[in-house]
Structure 1
Amino acid sequence: MTNDSDSSSLIRLNIGGTKFCTTIDTLTQREPDSMLAAMFSGRHTLCQDPEKGYVFLDRDGKHFRHILNWLRDGVVPTLKDSKYTEVLREAEYYQLLGLIDGIHAILNKKKEDEELDTELTRTDIIKCIQSDRVRFRGVNLSGLDLSKLDLSFVDFSYACLRNVFFSRANLHCAKFKDVDAEGANFHNATLRECEFTGANLRGALLAGANLQSANLQDACLINSSFCQADLRSAHLQNADLTNANLEGAILEGANLKGAKLSNTNLKDANLQRAYLRQVNLRDTHLEGAKLDGANLLGAMR
């Protein structure tokens, strides 16, 4: 076999006792830098059965058909997740870099899909509310439409609420502690006395929402929109409001101690009696804002 210059000639392989038949082209062309391509390049003497003409490789043969099919077609096999690990091990042994990359891409996509997989539907949520099962702590509800539902007092703490649609929902006294609600829509929702401590609300829409006395301490509110929202007596200590839009918002009596307000839009906002002591307001847009009675002692402007 090693003296045959015809690259399309048949090659018989014995992979751990399992027999295969293929060609030199198949073994060398798709992955020219692989160990298989080097073995069958004609430059090496191989272990060959002189009677039956099989080249022996001491590997598990049950997955070698996937290796051959990849070399023939360039298509990553469709397998159960547990089998991908076994095929990956063989691909690494044979140094098939294209197949290795393909398997990793599939496994990463599966992981992403699982992370984004919604565990419940809108109907499930309604059934839970009706049966008084109102705790969704740590549940993945990404992308659900929960608009206009009565979700008052529901505990969503630690849940994944990315891009959830809460528009016009009643969320009075609901708990959102440490939730990931990036991109969520709370437009015109009732969020009075809600707890958002440590929540990720980056890019969330809360325009027109009622957030009176809501607790948003340590929350990430970067790029979020609170236009015309009611934040009277809200707790915003140490909240990150970088690039947030609070134009026309009512922040009367709100506590913004330690809040980050870099490039925050507070135009025409009502900040009467708000606590802004030692807050850095240098990069904040305050045109038309009402600051009567606000505590601005030590604030940088």
Structure 2
Amino acid sequence: MDGEKMLCSSLNIGYVFVDRDGKHFRHILNWLRDGVIPILSDSAYSELLREAEYYQLLGLVDGIHSVVSKKREEDKDELDSELTRTDIIKCIQSERVRFRGVNLAGLDLSKLDLSFVDFSYACLKNVFFSRANLQCAKFRDVDAEGSIFHNATLRECEFTGANLRSALLAGANLQSANLQDACLIECSFCGADLRSAHLQTADLTNANLEGANLEGANLKGAKLSKANLTGANLQRAYLRHVDLRETHLEGAKLDGANLLGAIR
């Protein structure tokens, strides 16, 4: 309770009950006390970022982005992108932009309008796409392990066969996106909009879909071992014959979901 009082006082919102997962709350409190960003793994930073945005701690949000960007800069020699952010901005001013098979690893492409761009077969490891407009972009068979799509617009994107292991897609708009056969192991989709998304045979092992909207999504043949679907909206989702035995479904909405043959 003392921690909650301190947080509420810092946010000038009075004393309220904070109904959040306490996993990273100590980092929130430590940042409020001394302003220091903790040293964490990339996946932990993505989780802490979501908490910081929930509490509207903009200074912490900026600090996390700064730390992540610095890490990418330190890895620049290893990643060795073929283009720079400036090159990308110049290219997207043309029509029918394609970066098929290009190495863009480690670039900061946040907040850019990259709608309809074709990234198929490209190396997009650790690329920062936060808040970018990627509507209808093509990511077929890309290697985007560890990339950040936080709050990005990804409506109707194609990720067929893509490697998105450990990617951050929290808060992203993925309505009607095609993620068939994609590797989504340990991805974070917290609060993401996945309505009518195609997730057939996708590997969502250990993925975090807490609070995600999967209404009408097709998960036929998807691997959901140890996936976190707590509080997710799965109304009218297609889950026939899906193995749900190790899936966390506490508080999930399953009204109208097709669960024929599902193992629970």
TM (norm. structure 2) is 0.71
- Which residue does the alignment assign to 1:292? 255
- Which residue does the alignment assign to 1:186? 149
- Choose between structure 1 and 2: higher strand proportion: 1
1:151 aligns to 2:108 (yes or no): no
- C-alpha separation between the residues in 1 aligned to 2:94 and 2:260? 51
Q: Kindly report which structure 2 residues correspond to 1:211-222, keeping only aligned pairs within 5 A, or say none.
A: 211-222=174-185
- Which residue does the alignment assign to 1:209? 172
How far has the Cα of 1:284 moved from its partner?
0.2
- Which residue does the alignment assign to 2:216? 253
SS at match of 2:153: coil
- C-alpha separation between the residues in 1 aligned to 2:118 and 2:102? 10
Contact 2:76 2:106 in 1 (8 A): no
SS at match of 2:201: coil
- C-alpha separation between the residues in 2 aligned to 1:295 and 1:263? 20
- C-alpha separation between the residues in 2 aligned to 1:256 and 1:264? 13
Aligned pair partner of 2:195 in 224, 232, 243: 232
1:175 aligns to 2:138 (yes or no): yes
- C-alpha separation between the residues in 2 aligned to 1:161 and 1:245? 21
Aligned AA (1:123): T
- Which residue does the alignment assign to 2:30? none
Aligned AA (1:118): S
- C-alpha separation between the residues in 1 aligned to 2:181 and 2:212? 20
Give 1 or 2 for the bigger CA radius of gyration: 1
How far has the Cα of 1:130 moved from its partner?
1.0
Q: Flag the 1:191–1:113 CA change in 2: closer, same or farther, 3 A.
A: closer
Aligned length: 190
Aligned AA (1:116): L
How far has the Cα of 1:132 moved from its partner?
2.5
- C-alpha separation between the residues in 2 aligned to 1:219 and 1:208? 19
Aligned AA (1:224): C
Q: Kindly report which structure 2 residues correspond to 1:1-301, keeping only aligned pairs within 5 A, or say none.
A: 116-132=79-95, 134-301=97-264
Q: Deviations over 1:69-121 (max 9, x none)?
A: xxxxxxxxxxxxxxxxxxxxxxxxxxxxxxxxxxxxxxxxxxx9987310000
- C-alpha separation between the residues in 1 aligned to 2:96 and 2:159? 21
Aligned AA (2:183): C
SS at match of 1:235: coil
Aligned AA (1:131): S
Q: Deviations over 1:105-146 (max 9, x none)?
A: xxxxxxx99873100000000000112351000000000000
Higher relative contact order (CA 8 A, sep 6+): 2
Q: Flag the 1:113–1:185 CA change in 2: closer, same or farther, 3 A.
A: closer
* CA RMSD, 1 decimal: 1.4
TM (norm. structure 1) is 0.62
- C-alpha separation between the residues in 1 aligned to 2:164 and 2:92? 24
Q: Deviations over 1:261-284 (max 9, x none)?
A: 000000000000000000000000
Identity of aligned residues (%): 87
- C-alpha separation between the residues in 2 aligned to 1:114 and 1:134? 26
